[in-house]
């Protein structure tokens, strides 16, 4: 009930301002550029969407923080935070309602890439099961990026800070399994923690889903990750009230 | 015993090393309009924020309609209508969509919500701007919309932080009238800088200074704390005024007499009673006896602004020069 009210307000605010339209157009343009130029969609001459999905982690790295940075920072800046926090809405409902609205924006944008799915089906005979898995993995990963951004947004009233910090954090989680990031932490943390961290990056989990292997552990990884960051976000929102 | 609608118990709020509110306790019942007075920074807004569950008190307790705010915030908040300081609103929404949102968040829906929105729109005169985006509205409309979202769900408790700030005199009057109309069925707290408002709407007032309650009483009780409470002021021609003043001083219940020239040939004589006594009859008797040509005569109720100044300005601060 309350989640629905928060969710509807957020969605209304996306679509009553240019934000939703600008976001969707930029999303589709960037997705297209990545797929056709960087991914070499046609040159590969294969009927699959791998060059499309491969670039999504990098697409979300900037687009998710852009969407997430305003979630709380804007409310705190304009003072509507006080209005929201004195409505009879639980912290969980407020955090979840806002998150789900932002995630819906991602889902809508992602859904609007459907012409590329039609294209590969016209040009060849792709494995549509793998493509469905790709969309699922992409959506889950975008949720993970958003959950991080929403949490960071609740800690500041400055949207620029929220954006920059979110991008850095998302980048760390994106490449957590790679030496680039692991080497940074190696001198600081015990080996057991490092080897645990090496399995916690977005990219490994995303890659296996995109290859068509929908392992329940990868799905659970993203869902748990989202849950934990939302919980941390709710704590931060509550903490910053007083 | 029925529980009070609003109960604040030993509230204290610290921001870092600063104590913003210290040891504030009071209760408000249905039918009461409690005025929060005090200079800027006295803790009015902080106290209201603790009452509405926005800020968590460092110490103390709040209960609204018998529900503890700290233990059960969602239920307690449901009983409150709150206009935050500065009436913050979502700029991209319209009055219609904003009220629908707060109504839905408060669990209203369907026909009931539509009816309440209609009634509220008429009550605060929002019809003209009903579908206009909030960022284009004038300050007066924004304030009225803030009030509208506070009263939309017909709450038992209404907490309004400076509801008339930024309104023109006519709009101020309308809001005061509205608050008075709603007072019978609700417990209301309003904060204000405008002392005349206390008389116009409040049944009781609390004066805050440096985070503490320094006075709590009805407007009349507060006025009686003024030094010129029940003083008698007489306007008369200058000739014979000083003689009259001397005679006044001889009345046993008169503690002091002050003469101030007014224009070229008139002066104001003011007689102050000793504590707790009334001197009007003695003064009028004397006037009759002297056969004086009095141009104006009145008994002072006591000036609230003087009481306010005396209570809220630290007397040790030489910058203010002490007494009024």
Contacting residues of A for B105, CB less than 8 Å apart: 2, 5-6, 87-89
Q: Tell me the pLDDT tens digit for each residue of A132-165.
A: 999 999 999 999 999 999 999 998 889 999 999 9
Q: Is the domain of B109 the same as that of B74? A: yes
Query: Which one of B175, B198, B223 terminates a domain?
Result: B223
Q: Is the domain of B122 the same as that of B36? A: yes
Question: For residue A170, what are its two tokens?
Answer: 């998302």
Q: Is the domain of B195 the same as that of B106? A: yes
Segment B285-304 shows an average pLDDT of: 85
- As for how many domains chain B has, the answer is 2
Segment B238-244 shows an average pLDDT of: 84
Is residue B147 predicted with pLDDT exceeding 90? Answer: yes
Is residue B200 predicted with pLDDT exceeding 60? Answer: yes
Segment B287-306 shows an average pLDDT of: 84
The number of residues making up chain B comes to: 324
Dump the DSSP string for B262-288. ETTTEEEEEEEEPTT---HHHHHHHHH
Q: Is the domain of B130 the same as that of B164? A: yes
Nearest Cα residue in chain A from B79: A88
CB spacing of B54 vs A2 below 8 angstroms: no
Contacting residues of A for B88, CB less than 8 Å apart: 78-83
Cβ–Cβ contact B78 with A under 8 A? yes
CB spacing of A82 vs B88 below 8 angstroms: yes
- Angle at B75 (CA atoms; ends B74, B77), nearest 5 degrees: 65
Contacting residues of B for A5, CB less than 8 Å apart: 101, 104-105
Is residue B1 predicted with pLDDT exceeding 70? Answer: no
CB spacing of A5 vs B105 below 8 angstroms: yes
Domain of B249, CATH number, reads 3.30.70.100
Interface of A with B in 126-165 (CB under 8 A): none
Interface with chain A: mutation pick from B105, B133, B159, highest number of A CBs within 10 Å:
B105
Query: Which one of B197, B223, B249 terminates a domain?
Result: B223
Q: What's the whole-model pTM score?
A: 0.87
Q: Is the domain of B63 the same as that of B208? A: yes
Segment B283-296 shows an average pLDDT of: 86
What's the confidence (pLDDT) of residue B319?
46
Q: Is the domain of B102 the same as that of B181? A: yes
Q: Is the domain of B174 the same as that of B276? A: no
CB spacing of A82 vs B93 below 8 angstroms: no
What's the confidence (pLDDT) of residue B2?
58
Domain borders along chain A are 2-241
CB spacing of B56 vs A2 below 8 angstroms: no
CB spacing of B90 vs A85 below 8 angstroms: no
- Residue B58 maps to a domain: yes
Q: Are A149 and A166 in contact (CB under 8 A)?
A: yes
Cβ–Cβ contact A92 with B under 8 A? no
Q: Is the domain of B16 the same as that of B157? A: yes
Cβ–Cβ contact A19 with B under 8 A? no
What's the confidence (pLDDT) of residue A124?
87
Domain of B179, CATH number, reads 3.40.50.300
3-class state of residue A131 by DSSP = helix
Question: For residue B309, what are its two tokens?
Answer: 């100044």
- Residue B291 maps to a domain: yes
Average pLDDT of the residues of chain B: 89
CB spacing of A90 vs B74 below 8 angstroms: yes
What's the confidence (pLDDT) of residue B315?
55
Cβ–Cβ contact B46 with A under 8 A? no
Q: How far is B88 from chain A (nearest CA, A)?
A: 5
User: Which residues of chain A fall short of a pLDDT of 50?
Assistant: none
Residue A24: half-sphere exposure toward Cβ, Cα within 13 Å: 15
CB spacing of A83 vs B89 below 8 angstroms: yes
What's the confidence (pLDDT) of residue B317?
47
**b/e sequence B113-130, b meaning 16+ C-beta within 10 Å:** beebbeebbebbebeebe
Contacting residues of B for A90, CB less than 8 Å apart: 73-74
In order of A209, A215, B34, the CA distances from B26 in angstroms are 61, 60, 10
Q: What count of CB pairs under 8 Å joins A to B?
A: 74
- Angle at A236 (CA atoms; ends A231, A238), nearest 5 degrees: 95
Cβ–Cβ contact A224 with B under 8 A? no
Q: Is the domain of B173 the same as that of B285? A: no
Q: How confident is the model at residue B194 (pLDDT cuts 50, 70, 90)?
A: confident
Nearest Cα residue in chain A from B102: A87
Q: How confident is the model at residue B221 (pLDDT cuts 50, 70, 90)?
A: confident
Segment B58-64 shows an average pLDDT of: 95
**One-letter-per-residue 3-state SS of B138-194:** CHHHHHHHHHHHHHCCCCCEEEEECCCCCCCHHHHHHHHHHHHHHHCCCEEEEECCC
Q: Is the domain of B163 the same as that of B275? A: no
Interface with chain B: mutation pick from A82, A101, A237, highest number of B CBs within 10 Å:
A82
Nearest Cα residue in chain B from A74: B90
Q: How confident is the model at residue B239 (pLDDT cuts 50, 70, 90)?
A: confident
Lowest mean pLDDT among B27-36, B163-172, B180-189: B163-172
Q: Is the domain of B200 the same as that of B236? A: no
Domain that holds residue B117: 6-223
Could you tell me the sign of the dihedral formed by the alpha carbons of A127, A128, A131, A133, in that order?
negative
Cβ–Cβ contact B59 with A under 8 A? no
Burial class (CB in 10 A: 0-12, 13-18, 19+), B321: exposed
3-class state of residue B260 by DSSP = strand
Name the packing angle between helices A2-15 and A19-33 (round to 10°).
Answer: 70
Interface of B with A in 134-173 (CB under 8 A): 149
Is residue B146 predicted with pLDDT exceeding 70? Answer: yes
Q: Is the domain of B254 the same as that of B237? A: yes
Query: Which one of B196, B223, B250 terminates a domain?
Result: B223
- B260 or A1, greater pLDDT: B260
Segment B112-125 shows an average pLDDT of: 94
ipTM of the complex: 0.88
Q: Are A67 and A22 in contact (CB under 8 A)?
A: no
Segment B73-84 shows an average pLDDT of: 96
Cβ–Cβ contact A240 with B under 8 A? no
- B250 or B132, greater pLDDT: B132
CB spacing of B102 vs A87 below 8 angstroms: yes
Is residue B228 predicted with pLDDT exceeding 90? Answer: no
Q: In this structure, how many other beta carbons lie within 10 angstroms of the beta carbon of residue B111?
A: 8
């Amino acid at each position: 009930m309350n989640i629905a009210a928060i969710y509807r307000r957020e969605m209304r605010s996306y679509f009553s301002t240019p934000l939703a339209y600008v976001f969707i157009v930029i999303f589709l343009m960037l997705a297209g550029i990545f797929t056709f130029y960087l991914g070499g969609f046609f040159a590969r001459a294969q009927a699959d969407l791998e060059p499309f999905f491969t670039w999504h982690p990098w697409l979300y790295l900037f687009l998710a923080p852009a969407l997430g940075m305003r979630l709380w920072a804007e409310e705190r800046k304009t003072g509507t935070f006080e209005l929201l926090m004195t409505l009879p809405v639980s912290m969980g409902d407020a955090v979840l309602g806002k998150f789900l609205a932002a995630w819906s924006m991602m889902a809508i944008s992602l859904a609007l890439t459907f012409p590329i799915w039609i294209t590969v089906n016209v040009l060849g005979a792709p494995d549509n099961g793998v493509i469905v898995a790709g969309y699922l993995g992409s959506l889950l990963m975008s949720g993970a990026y958003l959950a991080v951004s929403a949490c960071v947004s609740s800690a500041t009233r400055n949207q620029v800070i929220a954006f920059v910090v979110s991008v850095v954090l998302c980048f760390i989680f994106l490449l957590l399994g790679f030496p680039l990031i692991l080497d940074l932490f190696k001198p600081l943390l015990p080996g057991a923690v490092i080897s645990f961290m090496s399995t916690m990056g977005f990219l490994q989990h995303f890659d296996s889903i995109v290859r068509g292997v929908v392992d329940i552990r990868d799905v659970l990884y993203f869902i748990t990750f989202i849950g934990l960051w939302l919980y941390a976000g709710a704590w931060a929102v509550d903490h910053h009230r007083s | 015993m029925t529980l009070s609608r609003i109960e604040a118990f030993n509230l204290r709020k610290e921001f870092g090393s600063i104590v913003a509110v210290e040891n504030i306790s009071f209760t408000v019942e249905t039918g009461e309009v409690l005025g929060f007075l005090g200079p800027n920074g006295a803790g009015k807004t902080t106290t209201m924020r603790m009452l509405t569950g926005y800020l968590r008190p460092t110490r103390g307790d709040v209960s609204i309609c018998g529900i503890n705010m700290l233990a059960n915030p969602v239920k307690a908040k449901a009983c409150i209508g709150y206009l935050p300081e500065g009436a913050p609103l979502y700029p991209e929404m319209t009055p219609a969509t904003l009220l629908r949102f707060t109504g839905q968040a408060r669990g209203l829906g369907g026909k009931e919500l539509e009816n309440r929105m209609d009634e509220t729109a008429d009550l605060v005169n929002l019809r003209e701007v009903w579908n206009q985006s909030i960022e284009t509205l004038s300050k007066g409309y924004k304030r009225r919309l803030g009030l509208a979202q506070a009263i939309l769900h017909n709450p038992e408790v209404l907490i309004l932080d400076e509801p008339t700030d930024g309104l023109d005199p006519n709009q101020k009057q309308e809001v005061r009238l509205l608050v008075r109309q709603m007072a019978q069925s609700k417990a209301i707290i309003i904060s204000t800088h405008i002392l005349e408002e206390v008389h116009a709407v409040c049944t009781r007032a609390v004066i805050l200074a440096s985070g503490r309650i320094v006075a709590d009483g009805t407007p009349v009780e507060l006025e009686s704390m003024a030094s010129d409470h029940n003083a008698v002021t007489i306007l008369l021609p200058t000739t014979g005024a000083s003689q009259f003043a001397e005679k006044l001083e001889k009345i046993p219940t008169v503690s002091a007499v002050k003469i101030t020239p007014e224009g070229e040939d008139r002066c104001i004589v003011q007689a102050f009673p000793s504590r707790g006594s009334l001197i009007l009859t003695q003064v009028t008797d004397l006037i009759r006896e002297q056969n004086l040509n009095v141009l104006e005569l009145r008994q002072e109720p006591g000036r609230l602004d003087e009481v306010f100044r005396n209570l809220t300005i630290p007397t040790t601060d030489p910058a203010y020069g002490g007494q009024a």
